Amino acid sequence: MNPQNLPNQIDFQKVALETLRIEEQALGVLATQIDERFTRACEIILQCKGRLVITGMGKSGHIGRKMAATFASTGTPSFFMHPGEAGHGDLGMLVKGDVLIAISNSGKSDEIMMLMPLIKHLEVPLITISRDDRGPMPQNADIALTLGDIQEACPLGLAPTSSTTATLVLGDALAVALLDARGFTADDFAMSHPAGALGKRLLLHVKHLMHTGNDLPKVSPDTPMNQVLYEISNKRLGLTTIVDENDVLLGIFTDGDLRRLIDKQQGFDVNLAVSDVMIANPSTISKEARAVEALEKMNEKKINQFVVVDDANKVIGVISMHDLIQAGVN
């Protein structure tokens, strides 16, 4: 420590880049540790009938909490159990049928070792994550995953830096491998992320936002233009659909089409049938499409509305860009 409490003159950017280099090297070392043990660990977790329980003390515990959250959101039921609290009753969280991942860089956490007899009694498969396989924890494990001989980025070699990064990456590797094995989809992911922008992108579909029933503008092809304009104005969606007697879509007429018609003809016959000026074969979308997909296609096609049709091309709704923006889709 500087006796005058003055900051040392250092190149902060140089230190940052050196830290990144050391931690990148640590991941290279970790890659050499991915072998049959990793495969067996994935198989044990896949066969688990209960939950995947993660435990660890200190910085390992912080990494463990993130790992549990990642597993839980990608199809593997999981939670974090604090080893200190486990020794005072929380071990009741762990039951037969669960799988336990215990994290300790040294492989000899006293708090976790204290739980070992009960873990063995419950016959819970134990997967450890540590620097090497020489400590008492990996020696008692069913699968001992190792990080390898990595250098901490901390110049004192004391603060967990590279080791926690490598542990986090190993946890991500397990989660992604399991996600792949389970055939986990974006829809599955959405079910555990209902809130916020992510939830809206994944869970909100056209059917949740489209206008239906009496709010749906529809006219027949022989409808005169004065009634068409009334339908557009009354339903306030900027267009009307033109359908046959079975509600099959024939075309659309929008307020933009009206402006172009007036510009072109300098007025028009109000008794003109809409079939003479409608846009045939307009862009449509399925009610099952995601709302974000509808917005992307509107921007791509430079349009403000989609007609929603079923498999028989029958009109079942209309959705506008205003509806999507108002719902917070972006």
| DSSP label of 205 | B
Global pTM reads: 0.66
Q: Which domains are delineated in the chain?
A: 12-184 (3.40.50.10490), 206-326 (3.10.580.10)
Longest Cα pair distance anywhere in the chain, in angstroms?
A: 94
Q: What's the token pair of residue 15?
A: 């230190």
pLDDT on residue 255: 87
| Distance of alpha carbon 254 from alpha carbon 240, whole angstroms | 6
Residue 158: Cβ-neighbour burial (10 angstroms; 0-12, 13-18, 19+): exposed
**In this structure, are residues 197 and 95 in contact, taking their beta carbons and an 8 Å threshold?**
no
pLDDT on residue 261: 82
Question: Which segments in the chain show pLDDT lower than 50?
Answer: none
pLDDT on residue 186: 66
Q: Find how far residue 240's CA is from the centre of its chain.
A: 37
Beta bridge partners of 318: 211, 307
pLDDT on residue 4: 61
pLDDT on residue 266: 62
pLDDT on residue 267: 65
| Distance of alpha carbon 20 from alpha carbon 117, whole angstroms | 40
How many C-beta neighbours within 10 Å does residue 14 have?
9
